[in-house]
């Protein structure tokens, strides 16, 4: 059974700092890994999808890496802004997703 862990559970940084969010999973036989953002009372917004054959994906200020052999992924958010405050969720599949509990990020203005 796949177990997904996210560390830290919460993170508070001043505006402008870079964010580093960690995700680990126990079964390396994954199809892909997806990072989501969830705002309070809202649904999930897909940020990045990394296929199992890929090592990283980038979108704007976001960069996610994947190391299947060690069962780890890291989400980097450069130059954080108050609008980045949200809960970030990591999930792995096949094909239904197993989610981590999330990292709640607060970016202080």
Partner 1 sequence: NAGVMQNPRHLVRRRGQEARLRCSPMKGHSHVYWYRQLPEEGLKFMVYLQKENIIDESGMPKERFSAEFPKEGPSILRIQQVVRGDSAAYFCASSPPASGGPTTGELFFGEGSRLTVL
Please give the residue ranges that form the binding site for partner 1 (CB under 8 A). Answer: 31-32, 34, 36, 41-46, 49, 89, 91, 93-102
Token representation of residue 84: 């980045």
To partner 1, the closest distance from the beta carbon of 30 in angstroms equals 9
Closer Cβ to partner 1, 13 or 49, answer by number: 49
To partner 1, the closest distance from the beta carbon of 39 in angstroms equals 10
To partner 1, the closest distance from the beta carbon of 40 in angstroms equals 11
Q: How far is CA 36 from the centre of its chain?
A: 6
Q: Residue 105, SS3? A: strand
User: Given the DSSP bridges, would you call strands 103-108 and 86-93 parallel, antiparallel or unpaired?
Assistant: antiparallel
Closer Cβ to partner 1, 42 or 55, answer by number: 42
Contact status, residue 6 vs residue 100, Cβ threshold 8 Å: yes
Closer Cβ to partner 1, 17 or 49, answer by number: 49
Beta-bridge partner residues of 12:
106
Closer Cβ to partner 1, 13 or 44, answer by number: 44
DSSP letter for 90, please.
E
């Amino acid at each position: 059974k796949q177990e997904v862990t996210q560390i830290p559970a919460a993170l508070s940084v001043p505006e402008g700092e870079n964010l580093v969010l960690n995700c680990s999973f126990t079964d390396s036989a994954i199809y892909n890994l997806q990072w989501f953002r969830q705002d309070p009372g809202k649904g999930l917004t897909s940020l990045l999808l990394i296929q199992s054959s890929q090592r990283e994906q980038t979108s704007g200020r976001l960069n996610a890496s994947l190391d299947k052999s060690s069962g780890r992924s890291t989400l980097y958010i450069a130059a954080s802004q108050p609008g980045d405050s949200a809960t970030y969720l990591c999930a792995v599949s096949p094909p239904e997703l197993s989610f981590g509990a999330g990292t709640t990020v607060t970016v202080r203005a």
